[in-house]
Amino acid sequence: MKAKIHVYLKPGVLDPQGAAVAGALHNMGYDEVEAVRQGKLIELDLTGDDVESARKRVDEMCAKLLSNPVIESYSIELA
Amino acid sequence: MKSAVIVFPGSNCDRDAHDAIEHVTGQKPAMVWHQESELPEGTQFVMVPGGFSYGDYLRCGSMASRSAIMPAIVAHAATGAPVLGVCNGFQILTESGLLPGALMRNAGLKFVCEKAPLTVENANTQFTSRYEAGARLLVPIAHHDGNYFADPETLDRIEGEGQVVFRYGKNPNGSARDIAGITNEQGNVMGMMPHPERAVDAGHGGTDGLALFESLLGSA
């Protein structure tokens, strides 16, 4: 089984890297870009095939290490 | 006071911390590898030094904060014993939950390496009792991720409780409310981005960090 974890900054947390990327896109002429938020995609290869227990374990991993709840939120996709 | 300096893969201020502590106390601190699960018997002061533990992978300090020695440091802090985290050490202490908030990428996106003017906001802590309240200091900073963030309620709370110990004279990294160093609610755990251990010897450009170690450890 694979888990895909998206980690992104919470709304209201300034993202200087996203702002720099937006600036670069504007310089390249992509004026339609209103804002950029930069996050992370983390992929896990997991043993076992019980989706519910995997979700619980991956949620724990996110809370304990893969995200920082002070500044980040996350979502989990299992497939 | 018996001291210990924690060493992670990628720590690079551990020996500066060692020398600063020895300079002030005349005693060598124990150098404790992160894979140990206990602090040496009788340890009182624990210093978590600067550097780039685990190459700053994932988030600065995140992996180090989950290493084998951390539960012992958390338990040690819970007894009220002093714990100081500098730079990467500050990041590790926020990641471990010992200090509120988080340290994010500098607002200017650049690594900053300079002498930072600081103000002592609270001289009534065990880390700052040898400073005058409001004293202006010059202490080196060297970091890419020192942009202190916490939600407004947390900021109001730590300001109200006197937990903001150092503030930048000129904000180098976008830190909320110019915060350079904070303590926990109990006042025994402090984190700061500036490097007091690099400011204890006039031959190295200044001694404004000396009083911090003297406050904590008594002068030699």
User: Pick from A14, A65, A70: which is nearest to B101 by CB?
Assistant: A70
- CATH code for position B55: 3.40.50.880
Q: How confident is the model at residue B219 (pLDDT cuts 50, 70, 90)?
A: low
User: Pick from A13, A17, A65: which is nearest to B149 by CB?
Assistant: A13
User: What is the pLDDT averaged over residues B31-37?
Assistant: 97
- Separation CA B149–CA B201 (nearest Å): 32
Residues of B with CB under 8 A from a CB of A: 58-59, 62-63, 66, 94-95, 100-102, 104-109, 147, 149-151, 174
Q: Say how many domains are in chain A.
A: 1
Q: Tokens at residue B207, please?
A: 């001694």
pTM comes to: 0.94
Give the pLDDT score at B220: 43
- CATH code for position A8: 3.30.1280.10
Give the pLDDT score at B1: 86
Taking only the tens place, the pLDDT of each residue in B200-217 is 999 988 999 999 999 999
- ipTM of the assembly? 0.86
A24 alpha-carbon distance from chain centroid: 21
CB atoms within 10 A of CB B121: 22
Catalytically annotated residues of B: 87, 195, 197
- Separation CA A62–CA A40 (nearest Å): 12
User: What is the pLDDT averaged over residues B30-39?
Assistant: 98
- Percent pLDDT > 70 in chain B is 99
User: What is the pLDDT averaged over residues B122-135?
Assistant: 97
Q: Say how many domains are in chain B.
A: 1
Its domain, for residue A40, covers 2-78
Terminal alpha carbon distance of chain A: 6
Taking only the tens place, the pLDDT of each residue in A6-60 is 999 999 898 888 999 999 999 999 999 999 999 999 999 999 999 999 999 999 9
CB atoms within 10 A of CB B27: 13
Q: Can you list the positions of beta strands (E) in chain B?
A: 3-7, 30-33, 45-48, 83-86, 102-104, 112-120, 136-143, 147-149, 164-168, 179-183, 189-192
Its domain, for residue B208, covers 3-217
User: Pick from B62, B147, B149: which is nearest to A65 by CB?
Assistant: B62
| Residue contact B66–A16, C-beta within 8 A | no
Determine the distance in angstroms separating the CA of A66 from the nearest CA of chain B, rounded to an integer: 7
Q: Which residue of B has its CA nearest to A71?
A: B102
